[in-house]
Chains A and B, each alone.
Chain A
Amino acid sequence: MNLKLRVWRQRSAAEKGKMVTYQVTDVSPDMSFLEMLDVLNEQLILDGEDPVSFDHDCREGICGSCGVMINGRAHGNGLFDDHPQTTTCQLHMRSFKDGDTIDIEPWRATAFPVIKDLAVDRSALDRIIQSGGYISAPTGTAPEAHSILVAKKDSDAAFDAATCIGCGACVAACPNASSMLFTASKVTHLGLMPQGQPERNDRVVNMIHQQDLEGFGGCTNIGECSASCPKGISMENISRLNHDLLGALRAGARPKS
């Protein structure tokens, strides 16, 4: 199949970017979206041009490295009815038709400055984790599994939240560029576990504080995040974060800064 790509090209964070049109020919429907970009880059290199930068690592949909806006949707999620919500690397070209025009843009948020082309700096999410996404349980030998009991419903909800791979699609899709779904999944994942209780109040207060410091927007409960999340993380996590935050503030927890 032959495609027309309109790709965001930006040499560095300091320079202005623009959409550039490329033609790619002989794309196999079995290629992943990233393999299609690899084909484009090989062609660009042969032509003596600068290849398009984009992040990728495992290409198995589990690492959270890849992620671009495809026709205005994060990872292309929501464009195809028959396609499950997943990452860019797991989107295959069979979802597109011969002759399609595809717009490819980076995640856009103040907190995610463009490094080059489609690659953005997502270390803001790392700093949110650093501010509270940890527990203080002693590590070393594994404890006896039955010594701390966890209710099945809590462990299921915590596991669902823990599937967040920190790709940033929620921020990219949010009309407010808020990272609320990301932060909420981290708060839920640790907050539902007995091991996460000692820091529970400080965690939520500090992570929200850091999220605001990084320049993310506020949550208005629209739901674009959840509809774009490759792991389908639910909006209920945001409610749980809010619940935890209110409890923590009542208990006197304040952000350290």
Chain B
Amino acid sequence: MVTVTHSGQRRTPKAAKTSSVFKKVVMAVSGIILVLYLIAHMVGNLKLFAGAQTFNGYSEWIRRIGEPAVPGQTVLWIIRVVLLAAVVAHAWAAISLWRQAKRARPQQYVARKQVAQSYASRTMRWGGVILGLFIVYHILDLTLGVANPAGHDSTPYDRAIAGFSNPLVTLVYVVALLALGFHLRHGVWSATQTLGQSNKTRERTVNAFATVFAVVLTAGFLIPPLSVLVGIIE
């Protein structure tokens, strides 16, 4: 390699205050927390097929977990706070690394050809932005009900039916869930690497698992809204 020593000491870039790998670890761990929640969320959604009473009852149960040992909604709020912290940590690490990457190559190539990157890995950052915006809409729609046709004093089942009967609403969900699928495809693999759990022999398995996991989770999330849209759930 060429050794030129005239450049001397560089100024310390802001990024160096916290190690880039540490940020990646924050990203991986917060991602795992969110993924564990998503698995439970996806399974819970499938209860829409069991009818209004079961689904609303399930929704009520989530609010009562831990009673009477703890007051109502305690566990729910703990889950919400943990999720919010995970989302904030995930976004902080992502934005910070995004900025570091921008600073690392201010002058772009005139000609550029990528051969190894997947669609999933290329869209991690903007896909993440889409998911962030979607989560805000999703909470306004189905948790608070203020963005839902059935209104905020309706039952969870009514809100799901009212929302997903509208093709436009379902389209938003489909787009966001596909973005989630791609995000998970690269995220699962990347988190495994970041936490130092991959190697040459495991690499194929990890990547295959990431694909299967992303497909299963996305499909599991897509089935209820699409079933409402085509009238399987009414």
Chain A residues with a Cβ under 8 A of chain B: 6, 8, 19, 55, 64-65, 69, 71-73, 78-79, 103, 105, 108-111, 113, 115, 119-123, 125-126, 165-168, 175-178, 208-209, 211-224, 226-227, 234-236, 238-246, 249, 255
Contacts and interface: CB of A to CB of B under 8 A. Distances in A.
Given A115-B4, A178-B104, A224-B115, A242 B109 contact: no
A166 B101 CA distance: 21
Q: Pick the 4 closest A-B CB pairs, nearest first.
A: A243-B196, A217-B104, A218-B20, A72-B113
B193 A235 contact: yes
Interface string B118-153: 100110100000000000000000000000000000
Interface in B182-234: 186, 189-190, 192-200, 203
A123 B3 contact: yes
B158 to A, nearest CB: 42
Contacts of A217: 20, 97, 100-101, 103-105
Contacts of A166: 1
Given A72-B112, A227-B115, A234-B200, A218 B97 contact: yes
Given A72-B111, A72-B113, A177 B101 contact: yes
Contacts of B5: 123
Interface of B: 1-5, 7, 10, 12-13, 15-16, 19-25, 97, 100-101, 103-118, 121-122, 124, 186, 189-190, 192-200, 203
B115 A78 contact: yes
Contact of A122 (B2, B21, B199): B2
Contacts, number: 179
A231 to B, nearest CB: 13
Contacts of B190: 220-221
29 contacts: A78-B116, A103-B110, A108-B105, A109-B105, A111-B104, A119-B2, A120-B2, A123-B7, A126-B3, A209-B19, A212-B20, A215-B104, A217-B105, A218-B101, A220-B97, A220-B124, A220-B190, A221-B194, A223-B116, A224-B116, A239-B192, A239-B198, A242-B193, A242-B195, A243-B195, A244-B196, A245-B19, A246-B25, A249-B22
A255 B192 CA distance: 24
A65 B107 CA distance: 22
A13 to B, nearest CB: 9
Contact of B113 (A73, A220, A235): A73
A174 to B, nearest CB: 9
Contacts of A246: 25, 195-196
Given A109-B104, A218-B23, 12 more contacts: A108-B108, A108-B109, A115-B4, A119-B2, A167-B1, A209-B19, A218-B24, A218-B100, A221-B186, A223-B121, A239-B197, A242-B194
B16 A209 contact: yes
B196 A239 contact: yes
A65 B198 contact: no
A69 B107 CA distance: 14
Nearest to B18: A212
A113 B196 contact: no
A215 B16 CA distance: 8
Contact of A222 (B13, B104, B117): B117
Central interface residue in B16, B21, B122, B190, by most chain A CB within 10 Å: B21
Given A113-B7, A246-B25, A222 B110 contact: no
A38 B194 CA distance: 43
Contacts of B2: 55, 65, 115, 119-123
Given A218-B24, A223-B116, A108 B107 contact: yes
Contacts of A209: 16, 19
Contact of A236 (B7, B109, B186, B200): B200
A123 B4 contact: yes
A19 B121 CA distance: 30
Nearest to B196: A243
Contacts of A19: 110
A180 B198 CA distance: 15
A175 B117 contact: yes
B115 to A, nearest CB: 4
